């Protein structure tokens, strides 16, 4: 019962096979090989336009390098206050942008709202020498609270960003889970809604270590090869990176994996929500579940060996915050989470919840 993160899993066998098949013989290094070209072609096909895609080994590298391409030294990047880029990347975006400032925006359920964005922008007017100048807005899809921006919400935020002269980045570490969950195509969720650059994640959903920085406006990608090399993300045996991405995308595999993870989360969510004393502060929209549970349920799950993290409650309104004797958990399902693990987790929680005073 390991629900700690989707990176607790290994890689998908199809991705591993793609690497094994790319392995024999020799090929040009540093991403100049046919597998990387194939991955690029597949990404252009997927996004229904010619994109400039660059493979890197980590999500942090992908985000930091993408933001550096959008935000010149000493400018401001706006994001949700719990965004991975501001909370979990050890200052890499600030470092790679050359002293950029990340400005966190509060918002329920992990989402930036147009009002929240406008208020943050108002605090950084243009032309004030004392202040960093706005350069980019970064949105996470799926968000850090496991929620999704609708296409209309992305478009409204991107329009506001562009109107204020900012570029728009999307952190898609779990982009596959978002596409699998929504009625929108990858194109509709990104460039058609105003996203300029996407960090397209594969690692959490089945690759070993592979993410793509995808530029929809290829003219913005001019110096990215240099940035990537300087950032230590130009892999010498690049074909093994290209093979991962190609294997991940082949035959819609990436969406099959994400659909499985989402289905497990939906079942986990429904099973927990039905228990007395358990509530979900926001809906389960992809592969993450955030239940607030009685402490005894948390204790019983831990005693049964379940793994997961307690979670921050900053995305909650006061009325939804855990009360005394309650705890909020984060549960993540991966492409290989087993149904039996989900059912066992629900059963353990149900037994503990049943003995709770109502």
Ligand X SMILES: *Cc1c(COP(=O)(O)O)cnc(C)c1O
Least Å distance between CB 143 and ligand X? 8
**Pairing relationship of beta strands 197-201 and 211-215 according to DSSP bridges:** antiparallel
For residues 302 and 291, what is the distance between their CA atoms, to the nearest angstrom?
A: 15
The 10 Å Cβ neighbour count of residue 31 is 23
Residues paired with 328 in a beta bridge: 292
For residues 32 and 38, what is the distance between their CA atoms, to the nearest angstrom?
A: 11
| String marking each residue 200-229 x if it binds ligand X according to CB under 6 A | ---xx-------------------------
* From 43-51, 54-62, 232-240, 243-251, span contacting ligand X (CB under 6 A): 54-62
Give 242-295 as a DSSP string: HHHHHHHHGGGHHHHHHHHHHHHHHHHHHHHHTSTT-B-SS---SSEE--EEEH
Using an 8 Å Cβ cutoff, are 199 and 224 in contact? no
CB nearer ligand X, residue 84 or residue 253: 84
* From 29-37, 57-65, 183-191, 221-229, span contacting ligand X (CB under 6 A): 57-65
Give yes or no for residue 9 binding ligand X (CB under 6 A): no
* From 21-29, 53-61, 101-109, 347-355, span contacting ligand X (CB under 6 A): 53-61
| String marking each residue 131-170 x if it binds ligand X according to CB under 6 A | ---------x---x--------------------------
For residues 321 and 302, what is the distance between their CA atoms, to the nearest angstrom?
A: 22
CA max distance for the chain: 67
CB nearer ligand X, residue 204 or residue 253: 204
Structure-token match 């994400």, residue found: 258
DSSP state of 126: T
> How many residues bind ligand X, per CB under 6 A?
11
Residues paired with 330 in a beta bridge: 309
Using an 8 Å Cβ cutoff, are 255 and 179 in contact? yes
| String marking each residue 98-137 x if it binds ligand X according to CB under 6 A | ----------------------------------------
* Phi, psi (deg, nearest 5) at residue 89: -125, 20
Least Å distance between CB 150 and ligand X? 18
Binder among 11, 19, 77, 84 for ligand X (CB under 6 A) = 84
DSSP state of 15: H
| String marking each residue 292-311 x if it binds ligand X according to CB under 6 A | --------------------
Give yes or no for residue 58 binding ligand X (CB under 6 A): yes
CB nearer ligand X, residue 59 or residue 134: 59
For residues 336 and 90, what is the distance between their CA atoms, to the nearest angstrom?
A: 29
Binder among 27, 120, 173, 265 for ligand X (CB under 6 A) = 173
Tell me the residue number closest to ligand X, measured at CB: 59
Least Å distance between CB 89 and ligand X? 7
Least Å distance between CB 172 and ligand X? 8
If residue 200 lies in a helix (H) or strand (E), which one and from where to where? strand 197-201
CB nearer ligand X, residue 47 or residue 200: 200
Least Å distance between CB 93 and ligand X? 11
CB nearer ligand X, residue 300 or residue 328: 328
Please give the structure tokens belonging to residue 312: 């921050």
Residues that bind ligand X (CB under 6 A): 58-60, 63, 84, 140, 144, 171, 173, 203-204
């Amino acid at each position: 019962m390991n629900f700690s993160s989707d990176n607790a899993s290994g890689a998908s066998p199809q991705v591993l096979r793609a690497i094994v098949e790319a392995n024999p013989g020799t090929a040009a290094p540093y991403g100049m090989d046919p597998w990387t070209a194939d991955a690029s072609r597949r990404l252009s096909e997927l996004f229904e336009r010619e994109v400039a895609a660059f493979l890197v080994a980590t999500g942090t590298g992908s985000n930091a390098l993408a933001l550096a391409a959008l935000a010149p030294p000493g400018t401001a990047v706006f994001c949700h206050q719990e965004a991975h880029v501001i909370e979990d990347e050890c200052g890499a975006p600030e470092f790679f942008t050359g002293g950029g400032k990340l400005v966190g925006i509060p918002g329920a359920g992990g989402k930036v709202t147009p009002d929240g964005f406008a208020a943050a922008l108002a605090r950084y007017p243009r032309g004030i020498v004392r202040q960093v100048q706005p350069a980019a807005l970064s949105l996470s899809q799926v968000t850090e609270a496991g929620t999704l921006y609708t296409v209309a919400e992305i478009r409204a935020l991107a329009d506001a960003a562009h109107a204020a002269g900012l570029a728009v980045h999307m952190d898609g570490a779990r982009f596959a889970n978002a596409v699998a969950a929504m009625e929108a195509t990858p194109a509709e969720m990104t460039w058609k809604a105003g996203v300029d650059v996407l960090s397209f994640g594969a690692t959490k959903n089945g690759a070993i270590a592979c993410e793509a920085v995808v530029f929809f406006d290829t003219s913005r990608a001019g110096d990215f090869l240099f940035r990537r090399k300087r950032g230590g993300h130009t892999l010498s045996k690049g074909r093994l990176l290209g093979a991962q991405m190609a294997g991940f995308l082949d035959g819609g595999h990436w969406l099959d994996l994400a659909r499985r993870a989402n289905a497990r989360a939906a079942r986990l969510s429904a099973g927990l929500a039905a228990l007395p004393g358990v509530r979900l502060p926001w809906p389960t929209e992809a592969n993450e579940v955030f239940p607030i549970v009685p402490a005894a349920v948390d204790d019983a799950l831990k005693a049964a060996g379940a793994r997961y993290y307690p979670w921050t409650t900053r995305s909650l309104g006061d009325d939804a915050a855990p009360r005394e004797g309650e705890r909020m958990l984060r549960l993540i399902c991966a492409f290989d989470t087993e149904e039996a693990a989900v059912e066992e987790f629900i059963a353990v929680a149900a037994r503990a919840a049943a003995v709770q005073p109502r």
